[in-house]
Amino acid sequence: MWWLSALGGLAAVVSGLLGLSDARDVLERIAPVLVFLVAVTVIAGLADAAKVFEVAAREAAHLARGRVWRLWLLVVALATALTIVLSLDTSAVLLTPVVLAMARQLGLPPKLFAFTTVWLAGTASLLLPVSNLTNLLALHHFDELQDYLALSWRPALAAILITVAVLAVLFHRDLRRSYDVPPTPRADDKVLFWGSAGVCVLLGPAFVSGVNVAWPASIGAVVLAVLFAVRRREALRWSLIPAKLVVTVVGLFLVVGALTAHGLEGILSRVAGSDSELRLSITAALGANIVDNLPAYLAMEPVASADGHRMMALLIGVNCGCLLTLWGSLATLLWRDRCDAARVDISWWSFLWRGLILTPLVVTGAVVALGG
């Protein structure tokens, strides 16, 4: 996908569909977002190397005392917290292999934990701007962070609760099972473990402090990089930097900027309408499942930018409504790769039919909560 995005962005500029000055404006707008994206990805990768997520998952298995439903609720809490503070990609990419390995070691059905991770990666990504790249892109349409939070907390809570309820119904048989309690987990390097865990915990209040999120994320990344340089230099690899993801984001911005300049906004305005937040959310959700949620957001942003409620309805659609197709978001594609690597078969039909149950409920519920 990244190379297609790169070619598309290059073609948009070279062909003149997007002028050089407009392209420069696009790059200036997304520069802080890209800095945040790189920094938080480095933090998540180093925290994973310090076994923060593995120890957390195994500690959850220990605390649940042999009951699957208790273990599942702890995984729900962990996936929700990671998504909110470190973005949906952290849950989809780093937590997924940990919980799947945990399920295999405990002899538990893996699909319960696989769907819990990917669904909450989407539906728990409304609360904070840092929870999803689309939120960060939308943040400048709100006067203050508090204005964003005032609109996001009710639909975010509704989306999480509805997701948990649907998971409980679909996997109720698995939740009745039990397992043998594993030994208490241990960290290999306690300095790296507690340092990484401390950075992850401190990011939460830092991200809601009102400071540009690129600053605390960058500081956290530098702190962990220095710590690893002293204690485990081999963990510092260039692969920690998500270069392909950065190229994808830049390319998509340039392509959608060119399309918007040539009439796309008018078409989407007619489809989404101007008098129904639910209609806007449904349109955004359909777009996300057809072409991925990031370009869907970029294309529809001008349609919703005049009003905070409509911007939040758009985010509900692209964040919570992208769970019908395996390409609905980059996080879902990465999650599928992790499932394949763990030999957990998730077919497109298996994903679709479950998504057809969740998506209408979570989008409608979140929109109703937004208006409440």
Percentage of the chain lying above the pLDDT 70 cut: 95
Q: Indicate whether 27 pLDDT > 80.
A: yes
| Residue 175 in tokens | 């939740």
pLDDT in tens, 214-233: 888 899 999 999 999 999 99
Range of the domain at 249: 2-371
On the 0-12 / 13-18 / 19+ scale of CB atoms within 10 A, 254 is buried
* More reliable by pLDDT, 17 or 222: 222
Confidence band for 296, pLDDT divided at 50, 70 and 90:
confident
* More reliable by pLDDT, 358 or 204: 358
As a whole number, mean pLDDT of residues 158-178 equals 96
Q: Indicate whether 182 pLDDT > 90.
A: no
For residues 254 and 26, give the distance between their C-alpha atoms in angstroms, rounded to a whole number: 7
| pLDDT, position 148 | 94
Burial of 58-91, coded b for 16+ CB within 10 Å and e otherwise, reads: bebbeebeeebbbbbbbbbebbbbbbbbbbbbbb
Q: Indicate whether 186 pLDDT > 80.
A: no
pLDDT in tens, 117-147: 999 999 999 999 989 989 988 988 898 889 9
Q: Indicate whether 372 pLDDT > 60.
A: no
* More reliable by pLDDT, 208 or 239: 239
| pLDDT, position 169 | 97
Q: Indicate whether 43 pLDDT > 60.
A: yes
Q: Indicate whether 259 pLDDT > 80.
A: no
| pLDDT, position 172 | 95
Tell whether pTM > 0.75.
yes
Mean predicted lDDT score pLDDT of the chain: 87
Percentage of the chain lying above the pLDDT 90 cut: 40
Length of the chain: 372
Q: Indicate whether 6 pLDDT > 90.
A: no
Q: Which range in 51-55, 192-196, 199-203, 333-337 is most confidently predicted, on average pLDDT?
A: 192-196
100: nearest Cα among 81, 124, 79:
79
As a whole number, mean pLDDT of residues 176-188 equals 81
For residues 245 and 128, give the distance between their C-alpha atoms in angstroms, rounded to a whole number: 21
Confidence band for 288, pLDDT divided at 50, 70 and 90:
confident
Number of domains in the chain: 1
As a whole number, mean pLDDT of residues 219-248 equals 90
| pLDDT, position 315 | 96
* More reliable by pLDDT, 59 or 74: 74
As a whole number, mean pLDDT of residues 224-246 equals 90
Sign of CA dihedral 228, 80, 31, 199: negative
Confidence band for 293, pLDDT divided at 50, 70 and 90:
confident
For residues 202 and 220, give the distance between their C-alpha atoms in angstroms, rounded to a whole number: 9
Q: Indicate whether 263 pLDDT > 70.
A: no
Q: Indicate whether 273 pLDDT > 80.
A: no
Q: At a CB cut-off of 8 Å and minimum separation 6, what does 154 contact? A: 369, 370, 372
* More reliable by pLDDT, 111 or 256: 111
Confidence band for 191, pLDDT divided at 50, 70 and 90:
very high
